A and B are shown apart, each in its own frame.
Chain A
Amino acid sequence: MDRIGALYRVVLCSAFFTLAACASPTQPPTEPPGGSLTQSDAQGPAGIREATSGPSTTTGGRSLQDAQAGKLPVTPPGSPLKEVYFGYDRYDLDTEARATLKANADWLKANVSARVEVEGHCDERGTSEYNLALGAKRSQAVKDYLATLGVAATRLSTISYGEELPVCKEQTEDCWQKNRRARFVIVSGRPAS
């Protein structure tokens, strides 16, 4: 079974991996997972956020880390990168989502060192495996659109959390709509402003 220490390493590891995967999707990383991990100096569950203090706190941390800290994965109101929302069982971007992504793209182009993980989420309806695949489609749709707006794809990694990390837990359409989302988490790099 995993120890807490291992978990911290793993959480840091995931940042490297998603970035590595994003940078060269067709090539496996040259180093085994363990190699790059142990070089990181993990300090605790909040290690990532502390290390990249500015931007990470403004978008909020990774949704899974929020869950591990007993918090809802909420994007703070002041975040420079806003969430976008999807229709039920859909991964196309409507006008509102495109407008949000335009603003997000503008910020990303002004803050070129920021690397961002795009999380795809679903509402609780339906089965877990299909929703994992659906969340992947959503995060990719966002990444692709940001790329067409001029954000380098290498700065954007994706992860799907399927229906696993809802931000709202009631069984209402209002709540489900909040959960069908793509969230942005700044994983490294400081903003210019």
Chain B
Amino acid sequence: MAIAFPTRPFYSQVKIDIEGPVGRRSPIAVSLLKNLGPSDEKRRISESITDTLVYDLNLSGWFRVLDRTAYIENPQTSGITAGSFDFKDWSTIGAEGLVKGGFALQGDDLTVEMRLFDVFQAKQIVGKRYGGRGGDSRRIAHKFADEIIAQFTGTPGVFNTRIAYISLTSGFKEVFVSHLDGTGKQQLTNNRTINLRPSWSPDGRFILYTSYKEGLPALYLYDLANGRDTRLGSQRTSSMGGRWSPDGKHLVASFEENGNSDLYLLDRSGKTVRRLTADPGIDVSPTWAPDGNRIAFVSDRSGSPQIYAMDVATGKTQRLSYSGGYNTSPDWAPKGDKITYTGRVAGRFHIFAMNAQGGEAQQLTSSAGDNEDPSFAPDGRMIVFSSSRTGRYQLHIMRDTGENQQRLTASGGGDTNPSWSPRLE
């Protein structure tokens, strides 16, 4: 889909800023795209692409997009290649980076060309051409945002992803998925019972969740391609939720027997492969290490809920969290190095991150309200979580360092239990 222009030396001028002072965001300008196609006005497409790009870049925490009203040049009359416009028009307004581009819509065939420039060095960093349909404009913008992040940090961004979550919009907790910018919102369940804790399959095609729709809470698998919904496992016991293995071949889930929840390894049809825990305490909220060899989970076997890690093959288990009397809902970072979780401090709940080997934890949130259920982005550099800091629970996002906390949703009923998808096409 993308034709890469020859990539120039790295965006070195600005890259230094990543290591720079906390909160330093590189000022960047995103010009409206030039209509390169037939003469009829298609400003809507240009705005859809640039608005999406602006949203993504601001969300990333690495950029501060300069206000379009301050731009000097006219995008429709100036060129989009180095040498065909004046870099001074951009350095004057304080831009260090600049995105320019053009598009052509013929029938429903959309071609978009976008270029990233280093304003100080007056040169192009990267350029891409994308082809698609008229409705693909946001997807294309997300792709170029990912490319800008790749140039800036060495790793692509995660803007072609979605969040699965629980929303109380209808008065009942139902499963939804949405893009980060709130577009493409889709309600997956409508059973008017209680639905909890959705999580993505590693291929991004299925949502695993817990629902009361047949009585006791059970695990269900929702196929995003056709809306087919399958119950996993027996209906005779309650399930407290499950997660996919990184290779997509197994699940680990918590099932209740005589009031006690334990973890089980399942195949993807829901058949039990092996029981993983058998202690009298609560064992719940599993998360897989990206190597697939270990899981982290919550157990109250010590008397309070704490995070433990288990080697799936040997069953060897180790306690990871020691500070605080309530640590739950762990999520293992995609690079394997960290685990984020919910911990209680002075009666409030906050998001923490610790080394995957355990030990000292870093508190990432400190706002008013409660902050719960963190989920890493597929690149491990951002975390989505739910927070009641603005009243009702809403989804928020932050860097994995806790910087750049921003609200994603503002639903009337409240949004909780977010799960960040893998990278999607």
CB within 8 Å of B: which residues of A?
1-2, 7, 10-11, 13-15, 17-18, 20-21, 25, 28-29, 33, 64, 67-68, 70, 89, 125-130, 132-134, 136-137, 139-141, 143-144, 158-162, 164-165
The answer, yes or no, to whether B86 is at the interface (CB within 8 Å) is no
Q: Which of A10, A70, A140 contacts B260 (CB 8 A)?
A: A140
The answer, yes or no, to whether B43 is at the interface (CB within 8 Å) is no
When distances are taken between beta carbons in the complex, the residues of chain A under 8 Å from B284 are: 129-130, 132-133
The answer, yes or no, to whether B326 is at the interface (CB within 8 Å) is yes
Closest-by-CB residue of A relative to B239 is A132
**A10–B305 touching, CB < 8 Å:** no
**B304–A89 touching, CB < 8 Å:** yes
The answer, yes or no, to whether B91 is at the interface (CB within 8 Å) is no
Closest-by-CB residue of B relative to A159 is B216
B15-27 Cβ-contact flags toward A at 8 Å (1 or 0): 0000000000000
A136 to B261, CA, bound (A): 8
When distances are taken between beta carbons in the complex, the residues of chain A under 8 Å from B213 are: 2, 7, 10
B211-231 Cβ-contact flags toward A at 8 Å (1 or 0): 011111100000000010000
The total of interchain contacts (Cβ-Cβ below 8 angstroms) comes to: 143
Main secondary structure of the interface of A (DSSP, over half): helix
Seed contacts A2-B191, A125-B344; 17 additional CB < 8 Å A-B pairs: A2-B213, A7-B192, A10-B193, A10-B213, A18-B216, A21-B236, A28-B236, A126-B342, A126-B349, A128-B196, A128-B373, A129-B329, A130-B305, A130-B329, A144-B259, A158-B259, A164-B194
When distances are taken between beta carbons in the complex, the residues of chain B under 8 Å from A7 are: 191-193, 213
**B214–A14 touching, CB < 8 Å:** yes
Q: Which of B193, B196, B227, B234 contacts A129 (CB 8 A)?
A: B196
Closest-by-CB residue of A relative to B190 is A1
When distances are taken between beta carbons in the complex, the residues of chain B under 8 Å from A25 are: 236-237, 257-258
A68 to B300, CA, bound (A): 32
Q: How far is the CB of A98 from chain B (nearest CB, A)?
A: 17
The answer, yes or no, to whether B282 is at the interface (CB within 8 Å) is yes
When distances are taken between beta carbons in the complex, the residues of chain B under 8 Å from A125 are: 344, 349, 370
The answer, yes or no, to whether B238 is at the interface (CB within 8 Å) is yes
**A160–B256 touching, CB < 8 Å:** yes
Q: How far is the CB of B258 from chain A (nearest CB, A)?
A: 6
Q: Which of B190, B192, B197, B259 contacts A136 (CB 8 A)?
A: B259
When distances are taken between beta carbons in the complex, the residues of chain B under 8 Å from A70 are: 171
**B285–A127 touching, CB < 8 Å:** yes
Beta-carbon contacts under 8 Å, B272-308 to A: 282-285, 298, 300, 304-305
Closest-by-CB residue of A relative to B261 is A133
When distances are taken between beta carbons in the complex, the residues of chain B under 8 Å from A10 are: 191, 193, 213-215
B330-345 Cβ-contact flags toward A at 8 Å (1 or 0): 0000000000001010
Closest-by-CB residue of B relative to A32 is B235
The answer, yes or no, to whether B240 is at the interface (CB within 8 Å) is yes
A166 to B328, CA, bound (A): 21
